[in-house]
Amino acid sequence: MLNRRTTLSLLSAALAIPGKAFAASPKEIMWEDLIPPGVPYSEIIGEGELDEVNDFWNPIYDENGTKLNTALDGAYIRMPGFIIPLDISADGVRDFMLVPYVGACIHTPPPPANQLVIVRTDKPWPGDELWEPVWVTGVMRTQLQSTDLGQTGYAITADEMEIYEW
């Protein structure tokens, strides 16, 4: 039988162990999971316009393009994607946009907000691995934000990243 002092000591020791030791496994999600249930992907992009002068397609997103899957708010997730750096230093990239395909937001019009994720990590991702697909693990938040590259619907505070292996 444990006495009060032993019980308090064990409880104190348990609280001193980092939270990660008790963290659940991340829920693996894919890009279609960012679209709320019941909203078909085909309904997040409208007709669009062609800018003939600049040879540029400008999609018109309807209100479904900004609808977010609120069930993911606060979820501990793992998802794949490609990095579009928002800032880069000699150490690497700490702030970036995670996008569903190579070149999104750079060579083509940006995807809708519910297909773009802002990521912040304390451990910089190496600058020489920017074109590699990655897995990002961390806590996801649903929040619409405007950036120079497009409107985003999600944000992740990443605690782990790794190369995506096919």
pLDDT digit string, tens, across residues 6-29: 433 444 444 444 444 445 899 999
H or E element, residue 117: strand 117-125
pTM score over 0.85: no
User: What would the CATH number be for the domain defined by 29-34+68-163?
Assistant: 2.40.50.870
What is the spatial distance between Cα 88 and Cα 6, in angstroms, rounded to a whole number?
50
**pLDDT score of 12:** 46
What is the spatial distance between Cα 46 and Cα 150, in angstroms, rounded to a whole number?
17
H or E element, residue 104: none
- Beta bridge partners, 11, equal none
**pLDDT score of 149:** 79
> Where in the chain are the domains?
29-34+68-163
**pLDDT score of 84:** 92
Helices (H), the chain: 4-16
Q: Tell me the pairing of strands 117-125 and 151-163.
A: parallel
